[in-house]
């Protein structure tokens, strides 16, 4: 499968303050990687290092095979980036913003852009400064998705949104990611909003990586999809569930307790889409 992001000993100081310390992690191609932690944990600093918006004090990170400090126009044209405090030109209308961006990206897909416009219900002739917070986030997402990036980086862009709007946007982005085989790195302090959707999870605290989940054993039943481990808990989708499935679970995890969770239709679709695009014979978290 390979990795979209490879960080080794990534460290950044601001004077005497150590913002991130010795971060080492991998983001596999085609995965949804969640970078979790409280405010001030170092998530935004780590992402800025990935995007070459900051230079590391020590360590290095490769993004799509290129050292982050050498990311140029051709590499950045394959990366979509949306942050919590992203600024868009307020004096432009949505249509003017799209017209400005369109020639900058060789892979811009006009049909996909129109599809996103319809899904987001964005008013083309409205100035961006007059849009609501939710609509501004949609405009930022549209401008980062229309060229179909290989890697999508989301630095808490949904923070502060109405819960219904936030859920709509998160699930919409993840559904598109599943269809397009994108790699998604999303940072959040809200574990509940993405815990059931992430393939890999890393937790930051005070600039330190306190958990980066290791792969599960490869010898899992073929019907178990999207298997993921968090501490002493393992989550997976059993595509052939029956009352007899308990025996298979007990064979892999003796003396375990089993809890069943129903899935929405969208979650089923996303799971199947990810499983179809997987080229690795092993299940990873």
pLDDT value of position 207: 83
* Mean pLDDT score, 102-121: 90
The yes or no reply on domain 3-212 and CATH 3.40.50.300 is yes
In angstroms, the CA 43 to CA 12 distance is 12
Length of the chain: 285
Q: How confident is the model at residue 227 (pLDDT cuts 50, 70, 90)?
A: low
CB neighbours of 73 closer than 8 A, spacing ≥ 6? none
In the chain, where the domains are located = 3-212, 224-277
* Mean pLDDT score, 40-65: 92
What is the H or E stretch that residue 279 is in? none
In angstroms, the CA 119 to CA 263 distance is 23
Tens of pLDDT, residues 113-146:
998 888 888 999 999 999 998 889 899 999 999 9
Cα end-to-end distance, the chain, whole Å: 13
pTM of the predicted model over 0.75: no
Query: Which neighbouring-strand residues pair with 79?
Result: 151
Q: Which of 72-86, 95-109, 164-178 has the highest mean pLDDT?
A: 95-109
Alpha helices in the chain (DSSP H): 43-50, 73-76, 94-101, 110-120, 133-145, 163-180, 191-194, 245-252, 265-277
């Amino acid at each position: 499968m390979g990795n979209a992001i490879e960080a080794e000993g990534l460290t950044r100081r601001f004077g005497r303050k150590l913002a991130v310390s010795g971060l080492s992690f991998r983001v596999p191609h085609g995965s949804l990687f969640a970078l979790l932690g409280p405010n001030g944990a170092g998530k935004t600093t780590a992402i800025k290092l990935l995007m070459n918006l900051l230079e590391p004090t020590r360590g290095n990170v490769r993004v799509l095979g290129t050292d982050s400090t050498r990311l140029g126009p051709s590499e950045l044209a394959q990366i979509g980036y949306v942050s919590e405090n992203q600024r868009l030109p307020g004096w432009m209308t949505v249509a003017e913003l799209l017209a400005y961006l369109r020639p900058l990206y060789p892979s811009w897909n006009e049909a996909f852009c129109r599809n996103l416009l319809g899904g987001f219900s964005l008013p083309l002739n409205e100035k961006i400064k007059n849009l609501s917070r939710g609509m501004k986030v949609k405009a930022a997402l549209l401008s980062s998705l229309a060229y179909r990036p290989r890697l999508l980086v989301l630095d808490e862009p949904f923070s502060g949104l109405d819960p219904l709007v936030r859920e709509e946007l998160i699930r919409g982005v993840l559904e598109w990611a599943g269809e397009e085989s994108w790699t998604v790195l999303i940072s959040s302090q809200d574990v509940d909003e993405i815990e059931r959707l992430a393939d890999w999870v890393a937790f930051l605290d005070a600039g330190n990586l306190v958990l980066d989940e290791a792969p599960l054993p490869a010898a899992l039943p073929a019907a178990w999809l999207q298997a993921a481990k968090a501490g002493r808990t393992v989550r997976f989708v059993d595509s052939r569930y029956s009352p007899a499935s308990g025996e298979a679970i007990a064979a892999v995890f003796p003396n375990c307790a089993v809890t069943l969770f129903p899935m929405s239709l969208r979650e089923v679709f996303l799971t199947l889409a990810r499983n179809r695009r997987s080229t690795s014979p092993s299940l990873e978290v």
